């Protein structure tokens, strides 16, 4: 018997239900980690999203060379968070 089946039986759940709940927990933890990273970036630049970061860079408050990596990291994290939220809605 697989571990998932054993645990499901222990908690009086169907294996599919256990997997579904486990996936929700995993995705929510992932969002929390992403939100923490986004918070650090946002605080560093005094912005709330990647569009605001783009604006402050265009305004010259930060040098493009210095913020280049953070800009793409910010953008990728926001996109990943959006994908995860879509997955959560589908569960």
Summarize pLDDT for 18-75 with one digit per residue, the tens.
999 999 999 999 999 999 999 999 999 999 999 999 999 999 998 888 899 999 999 9
Q: What is the pTM of this model?
A: 0.85
Per-residue pLDDT at 17: 96
Backbone angles phi and psi of 86, in degrees to 5: -65, -45
Number of domains the chain contains? 1
| Domain boundaries, position 59 | 15-90
Does 8 fall in a domain? no
Does 85 fall in a domain? yes
Quote the tokens at residue 10. Answer: 């222990």
Q: Write the pLDDT tens digit of every residue in 5-16.
A: 999 999 999 999
Picking from 88, 89, 90, the residue whose alpha carbon sits closest to that of residue 25 is 88
């Amino acid at each position: 018997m697989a571990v998932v089946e054993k645990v499901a039986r222990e908690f009086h759940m169907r294996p599919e239900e256990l997997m579904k709940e486990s996936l929700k927990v995993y995705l929510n933890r992932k969002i929390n980690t992403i939100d923490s990273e986004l918070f650090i970036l946002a605080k560093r630049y005094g912005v709330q999203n990647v569009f605001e970061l783009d604006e402050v860079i265009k305004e010259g408050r930060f040098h493009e060379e210095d913020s280049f990596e953070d800009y793409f990291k910010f953008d990728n994290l926001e996109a990943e968070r959006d994908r995860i939220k879509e997955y959560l809605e589908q569960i």
